[in-house]
Amino acid sequence: MTYNLLINGKLVAGDATMDVINPATEDVLAACPRASKAQLDEAVAAAKAAFPGWAATPIEERKKAIAAIADVIEANANDLARLLTQEQGKPLADATGEVYGTAAFFRYFTSLDMPVKVIEDSDAKRVEAHRKPLGVIGAIVPWNFPLILMAFKVPPALLSGNTVVLKPAPTTPLTALKLGELVKDILPAGVLNIITDANDLGAELTAHPDVQKISFTGSTATGAKVMAGAAATLKRITLELGGNDAGIVLDDVDPKTTAPQLFQSAFQNNGQVCIAMKRLYVHESIYDKMCDELAELARNAIVGDGLKQGTQLGPLQNRMQFDKVMETIEDAKKTGNVIAGGSRAEQKGYFIQPTIVRDIEDGTRLVDEEQFGPVLPIIKFSDEDDAVARANASPYGLGGSVWSSNADRAYAVADKMNSGTIWVNKHAELAPNIPFGGSKNSGLGTELGEEGLEEFTQLKIINMAR
């Protein structure tokens, strides 16, 4: 299988190549093109040249192209899902869900429009608000959900008349490149360009004078670099960054029936989810029982190669993340009690046994930092307001959840939690029509929904005297 960049409507080799590793086997999965700075410049130039034509294309035509991309993703779902499992590690069923989700996100945006809003229409004046495309969008994506996170950016960017240079993460570039091959003939040349790098072109894209906006998903540390890098050209930015979502479980919850949902919220995609539940506060009256239930689920979870039938948790996506999570677990052992997992799995690949740590407190790395892996700290609380205060004390503010059998009690707690999204009796549910964005160090701006679409536009007012 050969992979190519997509620049100006053509599939081209990279000026260099790099190896992509299958995290389940640690073997080389494919040689992947690595774009040079000159190729990045070509991609931006192609997107810039394609912009006026695409912006002038009627929105109904743009919608048709976006719907055709959704169709082609679905038509190739099996191949894409298999490739996604091989490069990312997630179980095939999850990969398949991500592929169909990606198609659904593309399709959702074809249901939106950008109507002119009349702000005032009086004897004195008529004032209209228009939404205009920005130009070339740089879309930068991480390695945990290579396809669906791209679908937060590319369809709204295209729908609103922008052109795009997409850059996937260096360890998961193959599905994006495969997508480039599939959509090459759907879009006019230069409207969507896909380049890959070894972590060296994101900064170049961010600083590029011909790029009008960076839509970035990744870590908070890199997000800060994007913000700094965008300053010189006053670029628009949307930043979807890290999180340390708290779940607060009130005393009226049944541990047995709730534990499986909590487990899924924390361990889905091996905890490599920006909105995974990353610390769990449980009321003291049900603490022991909940710890036992979660530990049991962790011990019984089937860890293995995502291509193997029945696998629930695959490997960590890359070596660096594997080492980071193992270090966090070792550190947690100093103050907490590990009641499930706690070590790497006995097989080749970046596998870690799902790990539950109890009797741990705020002020430790595992509780305070974003672990981004299959390890969950469970913290005991006695007072609801104290649990909320601890949940809110984090510099992150992406998501959070409250769990209770009483909707009014849950709502009152949800209202006090400071994050971009608070779920009640569920966690980490995203849908294309629901706006999503972080508070504090978890991000800037919004993706998805109508608000997410607007972020790819410039507001333009036409104010006419009568």
By the criterion CB under 6 A, which residues form the site for ligand NAD? 140-144, 149, 167, 169-170, 199, 202-203, 206, 217-219, 222, 225-226, 240-243, 274, 370, 372, 398, 438, 443
Look up residue 385 and give its two tokens. 């307001």
Kindly provide the b/e burial profile for residues 445-462, where b requires at least 16 CB atoms within 10 angstroms of the residue's own CB: bbbbbeebbbbbbeeeee
Q: Which is nearer to ligand NAD, 101 or 438 (CB)?
A: 438
| Residue of 240, 293, 370, 455 with catalytic role | 240
Kindly provide the b/e burial profile for residues 317-330, where b requires at least 16 CB atoms within 10 angstroms of the residue's own CB: bbeebbebbbebbe
Query: CB of residue 462 vs ligand NAD: minimum separation in angstroms?
Result: 34
Q: Which is nearer to ligand NAD, 238 or 355 (CB)?
A: 238
Residue 19 CB coordination number (10 Å) = 11
Under 8 Å between Cβ of 165 and 44: yes
Place of tokens 């607060």: 248
Question: What separation in angstroms does the CA of 253 have from each of 31, 75, 287, 384?
Answer: 50, 43, 11, 14
Q: Which is nearer to ligand NAD, 66 or 201 (CB)?
A: 201
Give the CA-trace dihedral at 136, 140, 146, 151, to 10 degrees: -40
Q: Is 274 a catalytic residue?
A: yes
**Distance from C-alpha of 456 to C-alpha of 192, rounded to nearest angstrom:** 15
Query: CB of residue 25 vs ligand NAD: minimum separation in angstroms?
Result: 21
Query: CB of residue 140 vs ligand NAD: minimum separation in angstroms?
Result: 5
**Distance from C-alpha of 349 to C-alpha of 345, rounded to nearest angstrom:** 9
Query: CB of residue 231 vs ligand NAD: minimum separation in angstroms?
Result: 13
Question: What are the start-end ranges of the H helices in 319-425?
Answer: 319-332, 365-368, 384-392, 407-416
Q: Which is nearer to ligand NAD, 240 or 384 (CB)?
A: 240
Q: Is 240 a catalytic residue?
A: yes
**Distance from C-alpha of 238 to C-alpha of 44, rounded to nearest angstrom:** 19
In terms of Cβ atoms closer than 10 Å to its own Cβ (0-12, 13-18, 19+), residue 266 is buried
Under 8 Å between Cβ of 264 and 252: no
Q: Which is nearer to ligand NAD, 217 or 394 (CB)?
A: 217
Q: Which is nearer to ligand NAD, 153 or 380 (CB)?
A: 153
Q: Which is nearer to ligand NAD, 143 or 456 (CB)?
A: 143
| Residue of 274, 447, 454, 455 with catalytic role | 274
Question: What separation in angstroms does the CA of 395 have from each of 82, 272, 329?
Answer: 37, 19, 21
The one-letter amino acid at 28: V
In terms of Cβ atoms closer than 10 Å to its own Cβ (0-12, 13-18, 19+), residue 405 is middle
Query: CB of residue 228 vs ligand NAD: minimum separation in angstroms?
Result: 9
Query: CB of residue 202 vs ligand NAD: minimum separation in angstroms?
Result: 2
Query: CB of residue 113 vs ligand NAD: minimum separation in angstroms?
Result: 25
User: In the bound complex, which residue of the shown chain has the CB atom lying closest to ligand NAD?
Assistant: 202
Q: Which is nearer to ligand NAD, 149 or 402 (CB)?
A: 149
Query: CB of residue 331 vs ligand NAD: minimum separation in angstroms?
Result: 18
Under 8 Å between Cβ of 89 and 45: no
* Catalytic positions: 240, 274
